[in-house]
Amino acid sequence: MMKWAEKEFGDAQLGDKRLVGRLVKIAEGKGAKPGLSCAKTVESNWADTMGFYRFVEHPDEEAVNMESILDPHRQRTIRRMNSCKTVLCIQDTTDLDYSANRSCKGLGVIGKNQTATESRGLRLHSTFATDAAGLPLGILRGACYAPALKFRTCPPRSCSRSSKSKRYAATQKKGLKPPENLGETVAPIGRLGGHLGRRGDPPPGHLALCDGYRTLLILCDGLLLAPLREAARQ
């Protein structure tokens, strides 16, 4: 009988069957001991421990990455979603703080404290699918990145009056009116979050903007899933 981990991850396209076998074994260990890190689930076996670190430090990032690891599980999640009348797509953003690990490379800035000390780590955004009763169907999407504080500087050429007038003329040709301020820029997101935007109403608050941003992400997920759903029906 095929084990659950092999069903969910056995079809991963990692470029090497041995890597797929290692992924399945890591998933089995994590499933058996969900309260421990992946490394600690195999620390009792030296060969498995070394195999785990070889897997996560694999030099070919195009073959072994978050997208290729999750893809087979995502496909099975979509199949389970197609069998449900109602599906809930729950989104979450989590900051992974690795500030204590100063030797770790590739981290970004995930925040600052009162003393302006930067916290270093990664930001994980995931979409978790369940049925109407709350039964988990799987991870629909996962994205992990290293955020950075961006200080916007405007080069003289891009800020010149001529370039601004050209951009304005281009939008006028297309029948579009560029936003004049930040309020006009965020107003559509606020409306997605329930802000009415009537004359005399204050600008959308942070709660409306957060709800609007979540709604926008759900709409984007729907656009991504629509072709897959049609393909599954055919």
Gap between the Cα atoms of 112 and 7, Å rounded: 42
CA distances from 102 to 98, 106, 107 (A): 8, 11, 10
Indicate the domain borders of the chain: 1-64, 85-151, 161-217
pTM: 0.60
Gap between the Cα atoms of 230 and 232, Å rounded: 5
- Residue with more model confidence, 190 or 182: 190
- Hey, is 180 helix, strand or coil? coil
Q: Tell me, what amino acid is at 201?
A: D
Task: Rank 26-30, 37-41, 229-233 by mean pLDDT and report only the highest.
Answer: 26-30
Q: What is the mean pLDDT of the chain?
A: 80
Beta strand extents in the chain (DSSP E only)? 87-97, 108-112, 118-131, 136-145
Q: 60: which 2 tokens?
A: 């070919």
183 confidence band (pLDDT: 50, 70, 90):
low
Q: What angle do CA 219, 88, 197 make, to 5 degrees?
A: 45
Q: What angle do CA 209, 66, 92 make, to 5 degrees?
A: 25
Q: 165: which 2 tokens?
A: 């007038």
For residues 67 and 12, the answer to whether their CB atoms sit within 8 Å is no
Instruction: Identify the architecture of domain 1-64 in CATH.
Output: Orthogonal Bundle (1.10)
Q: What pLDDT does residue 9 have? A: 93
Q: What pLDDT does residue 152 have? A: 47
Lowest mean pLDDT among 56-65, 68-77, 93-102, 192-201: 192-201
Q: Which residue has the tokens 């903007």?
A: 209
Gap between the Cα atoms of 62 and 90, Å rounded: 28
